[in-house]
Amino acid sequence: MSLNAPDNTHPYVPVLSAEVQEALAAHRPAVALESTIIAHGLPRPRNRQVAEELEELVRSAGAVPATIAVLDGRAHIGLDKDQLERVAEDPAMRKLGHRDLAPALAAGASGATTVSATAFLAARAGLRVFATGGLGGVHRDWTSTQDESADLRLLARTDITVVCAGVKSILDVPATLQRLETLGVGVLGYGTDHFPGFYLSSSGEPLDWTVRSPEEVVEVMRAGEALGGPAAALIVANPVPQKDQLDPDLHDRVLARALDACRERGIVGQAVTPFLLDHLMQHTGGASLEANLAAVRGNVSLAARIAIARSAAGHGTAGPKEAAAR
């Protein structure tokens, strides 16, 4: 994409919605939500309903939703109804990792933010709790493609608590867990001592730490802040309820075919994850989509409860000033 004529007056600072600004100022609970799952991870027109539903889940729990996206060269933290609709429906929405933010702003482009771009913008604004579906990670053919999601490196240097259903099962899960250890990213199993498997309640991989309530998560966040170690995300790995998981045999069968199809068609880079998610949906008769949505809903609700517990403990959002000083 070519850049517009240089504009020395563009401020490039993110635009915070009024309600997100108010929540930050008053240390009230707020939850960051990513937009790539909406624009590139879910089929239309369902994706628009889901975007609204996720915001409503946060609101009804008593917190403020802050969906993040880039629109016409401005990063937005907190979207209104029309903006959310645009993210879901505009076919020109790009997929933006954190390295894409500067070129997108300079070009006046629009795009949905991945976990890496969302976590970066959220933490910078002072938001401390973020919900998504499944993180990106190390792809199965990493040794030949070097495809490791930018999510991991960014989370390794960002103070934010990310609630997710593990990493997408299309990935090499043990390798991703190993990378998270190397990078110093903490992982807590929520009500489980096994790492969740995104569409599946368990990936079969053991975890070292288990928490059982939002208050326990907040306590880990507090302890981390008191220690004052290097910035790093805290992952709260929240399994999809067993009744909502994809049938494990169907999952394994269809995933093997999806990975073959991806290889045969030579799909690489940013297109890999959306392709695999879509292939799974098509070949499970939509069952993978339902499991994905159940996981995301659970994560968003839990993130809201964590944000609320944190406010109740007197640690709302970090506030833009404190965030900048860290």
Show which residues are catalytic: 34, 168
Nearer to ligand PSU, 101 or 218 (CB): 101
* 147 makes contact with Mn ion (CB under 5 A): yes
- Give the chain's length: 326
* 301 makes contact with ligand PSU (CB under 6 A): no
Are 122 and 65 a contacting pair, CB within 8 Å?
A: no
Are 75 and 17 a contacting pair, CB within 8 Å?
A: no
Nearer to ligand PSU, 74 or 153 (CB): 153
151 touches which of Mn ion, ligand PSU, none (CB within 5 to 8 A by kind)?
A: ligand PSU
Per 3-state DSSP, the chain is made up of helix, strand and coil in percentages (nearest 5) of 50, 15, 35
Q: What is the C-alpha to C-alpha distance for residues 258 and 278, in angstroms, rounded to an integer?
A: 9
* 238 makes contact with ligand PSU (CB under 6 A): no
Q: What is the C-alpha to C-alpha distance for residues 82 and 63, in angstroms, rounded to an integer?
A: 21
Write down the least CB distance from residue 165 to ligand PSU, Å.
Answer: 8
Does residue 115 have a known ligand-binding role?
yes
In angstroms, how far is the first alpha carbon of the chain from the final one? 34
DSSP 114-126: -HHHHHHHHHHHT
In the window 56-115, what residues touch Mn ion (CB under 5 A)? none
Does residue 213 have a known ligand-binding role?
no
* 115 makes contact with ligand PSU (CB under 6 A): yes
Does residue 147 have a known ligand-binding role?
yes
Does residue 95 have a known ligand-binding role?
yes
Residue 307, SS3? helix
Write down the least CB distance from residue 32 to Mn ion, Å.
Answer: 21
Does residue 294 have a known ligand-binding role?
no
Nearer to ligand PSU, 37 or 309 (CB): 37
Amino acid at 124: R
Write down the least CB distance from residue 227 to ligand PSU, Å.
Answer: 27
16 touches which of ligand PSU, Mn ion, none (CB within 5 to 8 A by kind)?
A: none
Q: What is the C-alpha to C-alpha distance for residues 242 and 195, in angstroms, rounded to an integer?
A: 14
Helix (H) or strand (E) holding 85: helix 81-89
* 41 makes contact with ligand PSU (CB under 6 A): yes
- Find tokens 């790093």 and name the residue: 232
Are 1 and 70 a contacting pair, CB within 8 Å?
A: no
* 292 makes contact with ligand PSU (CB under 6 A): yes
* 132 makes contact with ligand PSU (CB under 6 A): yes
Give me the 167-206 binding string for ligand PSU, x by CB under 6 A, dash otherwise: ----------------------------------------
List of long-range contacts for 259-264, beta carbons under 8 Å, 24+ apart? 259/140, 259/170, 263/141
Give me the 133-162 binding string for ligand PSU, x by CB under 6 A, dash otherwise: xx-x------------xxx-----------
Does residue 218 have a known ligand-binding role?
no
The footprint of Mn ion on this chain (CB under 5 A) covers a number of residues equal to: 2
Kindly state the tokens that stand for 306: 């964590």
What would the 3-class secondary structure string for 4-24 be?
Answer: CCCCCCCCCCCEECHHHHHHH
Q: What is the C-alpha to C-alpha distance for residues 179 and 290, in angstroms, rounded to an integer?
A: 29
Residues forming contacts to Mn ion in the complex (CB under 5 A) are 147, 149
Annotated binding site for Mn(2+): 147
Q: Which residues bind ligand PSU (CB under 6 A)?
A: 34, 36-37, 40-41, 114-115, 132-134, 136, 149-151, 270, 273, 277, 292, 296
